[in-house]
Structure 1
Amino acid sequence: MNFQPLGKRVLVEREEEVKTTASGIIIPDNASKEKPSKGKVVAASKEAEGVNEGDVVVFAKYAGSEIALDDKKYLVLNLEDVLGIIK
């Protein structure tokens, strides 16, 4: 994959969360209507100060634009939609 975000943007791969009910039934993320708002930064523009490749970030629920690269889905986020970095 060769993608370089421009402006104050980052490329994020969403983290898929597997949820388990109290009775032990596993509910895959794609069964939920809610999309995860956490993911790993795969690429960051030079202008996206403070966010680096490999960071796990939390972002606004409906933020970004989905793109597909190498048969994988990613999200291009404006830096202002990144709410924080999980350390």
Structure 2
Amino acid sequence: MNLNDAQIRSLQPGDRRQNKSVGDSLFLVIEPTKAGGGKSFEGRMRFPSGRGGKQISVRIGVYGRGLGRYTLSEARVEWTRIKNWSRTKDALSNKPA
């Protein structure tokens, strides 16, 4: 189930950490109430890509508006940028872009 912005705003923290898919291997992570109940975006991929790669999680940032926060559309754009970079030769040779 892909979430939209209104659905993300309405989600409330519970007793356990929640992972909600927003599509394309991008997830909204909702921390439990006792940990502050924050919402953030996390992408999951295999690196290097393919069956031999190890699954890694990439924390994109905190959900919200303002400095240092990501809206749903901004998180999707950032996740696409990260995935595209991970497929380049620079990523595979561990050289900074």
Task: Give the TM-score, by structure 2 length.
Answer: 0.27
Q: TM-score, normalised by structure 1?
A: 0.29
Q: Which has the higher strand share?
A: 1
Which has the bigger relative contact order, CA under 8 A and spacing at least 6? 1
The structure that has the greater radius of gyration is 2
